[in-house]
Structure 1
Amino acid sequence: MPDPTLTGRTRRTEHAPPVALDDDATLHAMGYPRKLTRRFRAFDNFAISFTIINIISGIFSAFGMGMAGGGPRILIFGWIGVSVMVLFIGAAMGEIASAYPTSGALYFSAGKLARRHSGAWSWYTGWLNFIGQVAGTAATDYAAATFIQSYIAMQWDYTPTLRKTVLITAAVLLVHALLNTYTVRLVAVINRISVWWLIVGLLVIVISLVSVPSHHQHAGYAFHYANTTGFHSAVYAGLLGLLVTSWTFTGFDGSFHMSEETVQATVNAPKGIVRAIGYSALTGLILMVALVYSIRDYAAEVSSAAPPVQILLDALGQGLSKAILVIIIGSMLFCGLANMTSNTRMIFAFSRDGAMPGSRLWHSVSPRTRTPVKAVWLAAASSLVLVLPGWWSHTAFSAVVSVNVVGLFLSYGIPIFLRLRLKDEFQAGPWHLGRWSRPVGVVAVLWIITSNVLFMLPQATPITASTFNYAPIALAVVLVIATLWWFATARKSFHGPVSYGGPDEVAAMDLV
């Protein structure tokens, strides 16, 4: 059972609900001094997850996968079903975020929730979250590079290639790293702008798709099924189509990771998670329906280099399609920036507890910006490594997406599973699920297991060097390294989240 002196909580009873403590007092009670500036309010915290989920980026970047694997039936009804499952995960995570509002987020809570072997649970949760977050940044910026090339091809005589995609991705990663290094206050402002960019952009896209085309598909088109994956099993193809929604709904742990920079984090962080998922589910469904009913030539569009771009061109013409592409590219760039910001905070916290090579370097904080600048560049370099196979692989994007989803959702599932094992011993925060905590957690864990199996399976046939889903290999490499390192030295030196002392001691260490 977590030590109440470390969590800063008292046992919840019917007559004495938990009360949110002062932010610094809560952090000090968990054994950490304040090193980061609390510049995020409720809307800012929500904005980070809403921007990372980013329905415009997620739907447009993976829409072709859904068209091939199941078509409109899976795209629309799969969106509804998976959104509900993800909401269960978000609610279960929110309850944990309220109890442990730290930048360490998932790996910290795993260490605190484990009855035994807390160091090992925390270690593996942290490494899964790290590789998942790195892959999220990589996949988003890779998708942005793809759409940037589509725009350039509309404007000039330009032929997109795999190598050009990797080079543009590297340039985007560089820009995002520079922004996180030198303009930290601007990043917070950009995250607020991104929410309105998404909302206004969604309205522009949906209104255009509804009002401009001369005709749309018939009402029953939502039930149309299509399978162009090459796999003969309709069920298997349909399951692959669910990956569109699963990929879109990643990164909402961003609100959790920003806890140490959020005002009233014990309440605002969990609310940020749940609100980001809920609003994304509703607005995403509207966008999905608008796109599906704007399809004209299914065979030609699904076989094009960028199916959603071809749908826009066929439905809206080149002029308006260019304007909408700007909206899509902007959304992807906002998403990639927010991804890197969240990833950096995870690296900072994990290194703070001595769990990464060169930990002292990665958790150092810039005296000027009060942010972990060196961790920013580690995040950028790691993301670039993951997209390098795109130099020759046609399935690089789907593989990086798989690494993103499997890594993140496993790291989501571990603390939820450990919380279930604690039952009534769990020390709840001010935001909790009450009697619904256990059923919500069970559903969340079951869906995480199911979706992760799907992402590890082959996604294209025939399986060749250029179509092979290298996600299992990438994840295996990370887990093997983490395991070898764990048994070689880490199990002796890393015992889970580190406490820097009692509340009064760490309060004296505050740097801001």
Structure 2
Amino acid sequence: MVKLTAEEIDAQDAARLNELGYKQELKRELTSIGNMGMALSVVCISSGLTSLFAYGLNTGGPVVMVWGWVGVCFFTVPVALAMAEISSAYPTSGGLYYWAAQLSSRKYAPFASWMTGWYNLIGQFAVTAGIDFGIALMIGALINIGTDGAWAPTAGSTVGIHVAICFSHGITNSLGPRVMTTINTMSTVWQVVAPVVILITIACKAPTHQSASFVFGYYNNNTGWTMPGYVILTGLLQAQFTMTGYDASAHLSEETKRANIAAPVGMVMAVLVSAVMGWCFIIGFLFCIQDFEATLQTTTNFPVMQIIFDSVGRSGAIVLMVILILACWFCGFASVTANSRMIYAFSRDGAMPGSQHWHVIHQKTKTPLNAVWLSVLIASLLGLPSLGNSTAFSAITSVATIGLYISYGIPIVCKLLNQKQFTRGPLHLGVLSPVIGSIAVLWIIFITILFVLPPQSPVTPISMNYACLAIGLVTLGAGGRFAIDARVWFKGPITNLDAEFGQKKQVQESVDNHDDIHEKVALEP
């Protein structure tokens, strides 16, 4: 096999991007490991599992957390595989909404692309907000322990910390691709090292350990619902929210070398590594609980902090929480990066209000700065409802999960319905593709219905799951805008190859072989 030089690899990547209708504007700094690391950072078990640890303990308890994680990961793998196969064929920053357009019939391609883009965009905004709000909770818990309880986090202080964290991610994401690559390299290592260090430390230092029957079989229900089956299902949110964001590999395709291989591999590996590490993480923390009720009622408002404090004491808890917070900060950084690339790509195709502002590339840093700060602004604003609603955080995580998974599902459905239009890339599923795709779609439909249901009873304005309202507004808003006028001017992804001449051409839409043959025959004399 002939080994290509770096310049030849870049030329091949740029040529493939040209074939898909785009010119190379972003700098390709990410390797295969870097791409996987970015997806691994966005998934980040340290963030998702810890921020919803209290939710898990109250909604089914250890038995649901442990075995629910296994079930969720089992069905997440087919989703990742189905997306990876499409990513290998279409390595663009637009990712999912570009795929939906290419895999739909000519008539429905604009609508499929439009709705996919908006669901993905809203889901990414909510994911970024959820990650950074979780960090704010951690920092509040850390200060509480550091001051020996003299300072307790309030809703206002938590939101203030949340906004500050969002802005820190905006600043670091504005410094260019080299800084991004450096932080991403550190994050890739940290996402593996941090959980291992924390688990080994608390396991060795904990005064006592819970029994295996408690960890693998104890059921706890503080939701107010009396139906165990319902409680168990709603308890899956902790696992499914954590296992989101791996589409970051696709959104960074235009910044990744050999993207048609690196992006799909990065996507799947991020899910598999997170699945194994997440299960160990949950089990390790459950074994180290010293007093279950005291952990639930902790004054830190963060059970993971209480478990660490009870296991290693005040000084050790501060050190380990700093390690954990840093892992989560890396996660938020990667989430803003992926979110901004989606904004850049979607606005490049004219699909967002003010699109002309969001796809501008800063010439010095080669970064979509406006897109970065739009992501930061929206994520900051999404933290504000927590000032008046204690369940707003779980609603944000529901919106993130549902929004992202609907956007994952639409292109997979389009591919299943239009198999002949799909020209597979170097990595594909072969004859198993329809089966894996069907399993993925069924799972997405299931969790979409599940996570709009209220997790607490009685259902009041405070305990209501407003994810149903948020997803409904996105559906009506995006669908309504398309029906009113976007159906006239939005035709799906457009090229930017001639943008410097003030021209934009429609990407040639795929047609199936049958229609193609008939069109050619019709043109013959």
TM-score (norm 2): 0.90
- Contact 2:176 2:366 survives alignment (8 Å): no
- Contact 1:163 1:392 survives alignment (8 Å): no
| Counterpart residue number, 2:362 | 366
How many Å apart are 1:428 and its aligned residue?
0.4
How many Å apart are 1:205 and its aligned residue?
1.1
Shift in CA distance, 260/183, structure 1 to aligned 2, threshold 3 Å: closer
From 345, 352, 358, give the equivalent of 2:348: 352
CA offset digits 1:149-198 (Å, max 9, x no partner)? 11111112212111111111111111111111134421221111012112
From 157, 167, 171, give the equivalent of 1:174: 167
CA offset digits 1:416-464 (Å, max 9, x no partner)? 1111112344210001111111111111111111112121111223333
Code of the residue aligned with 2:74 in structure 1: it is V
Matched position secondary structure for 2:449: helix
| Counterpart residue number, 1:15 | none
| Counterpart residue number, 2:400 | 404
Code of the residue aligned with 2:24 in structure 1: it is R
| Counterpart residue number, 2:49 | 59
CA offset digits 1:95-118 (Å, max 9, x no partner)? 010011000000000011001310
- Map 1:59-458 onto structure 2 (within 5 A): 59-115=49-105, 116-156=107-147, 157-221=150-214, 222-304=216-298, 305-458=301-454
How many Å apart are 1:319 and its aligned residue?
2.0
| Counterpart residue number, 2:485 | 489
| Counterpart residue number, 2:509 | none
CA offset digits 1:337-360 (Å, max 9, x no partner)? 100000000000000010001111
- Contact 2:246 2:267 survives alignment (8 Å): yes
Aligned length: 488
How many Å apart are 1:212 and its aligned residue?
1.1
From 29, 36, 39, give the equivalent of 2:26: 36
Q: Structure 1: which 5+ runs fail to align?
A: 1-19
How many Å apart are 1:224 and its aligned residue?
1.5
Matched position secondary structure for 1:181: coil
- Contact 1:94 1:269 survives alignment (8 Å): yes
CA distance in 2, matches of 1:159, 1:428: 55
- Contact 1:259 1:269 survives alignment (8 Å): yes
CA distance in 1, matches of 2:461, 2:313: 37
Code of the residue aligned with 2:16 in structure 1: it is T
TM-score (norm 1): 0.92
How many Å apart are 1:229 and its aligned residue?
1.3
CA distance in 2, matches of 1:501, 1:449: 37
CA distance in 1, matches of 2:426, 2:244: 25
Matched position secondary structure for 1:407: helix
- Contact 2:114 2:351 survives alignment (8 Å): yes
Code of the residue aligned with 1:239 in structure 2: it is L
Code of the residue aligned with 2:270 in structure 1: it is A
- Contact 1:54 1:335 survives alignment (8 Å): yes
Code of the residue aligned with 2:22 in structure 1: it is Y
Code of the residue aligned with 1:406 in structure 2: it is I
CA offset digits 1:201-224 (Å, max 9, x no partner)? 112111112211232122222111
CA distance in 1, matches of 2:176, 2:348: 23
> After the TM superposition, which of the residue ranges 118-127 and 311-320 deviates more from structure 2?
311-320
How many Å apart are 1:237 and its aligned residue?
1.0
Code of the residue aligned with 1:228 in structure 2: it is N
Matched position secondary structure for 1:456: coil
Shift in CA distance, 303/461, structure 1 to aligned 2, threshold 3 Å: farther
CA distance in 2, matches of 1:188, 1:231: 47
Shift in CA distance, 501/171, structure 1 to aligned 2, threshold 3 Å: closer
Identity of aligned residues (%): 39
CA distance in 1, matches of 2:444, 2:296: 29
| Counterpart residue number, 1:12 | none
Matched position secondary structure for 1:49: helix
How many Å apart are 1:21 and its aligned residue?
9.1
Code of the residue aligned with 2:467 in structure 1: it is A
CA distance in 2, matches of 1:52, 1:147: 17
How many Å apart are 1:480 and its aligned residue?
2.2
> After the TM superposition, which of the residue ranges 217-226 and 251-260 deviates more from structure 2?
217-226
CA distance in 2, matches of 1:188, 1:392: 38
- Contact 1:49 1:252 survives alignment (8 Å): yes
CA distance in 1, matches of 2:476, 2:468: 12
Shift in CA distance, 271/287, structure 1 to aligned 2, threshold 3 Å: same
Matched position secondary structure for 1:153: helix
- Contact 2:195 2:324 survives alignment (8 Å): no
CA distance in 1, matches of 2:305, 2:465: 24
- Contact 2:103 2:421 survives alignment (8 Å): no
| Counterpart residue number, 2:469 | 473
CA distance in 1, matches of 2:61, 2:101: 42
CA distance in 2, matches of 1:41, 1:226: 44
Matched position secondary structure for 1:467: coil
Q: Structure 2: which 5+ runs fail to align?
A: 1-9, 506-525
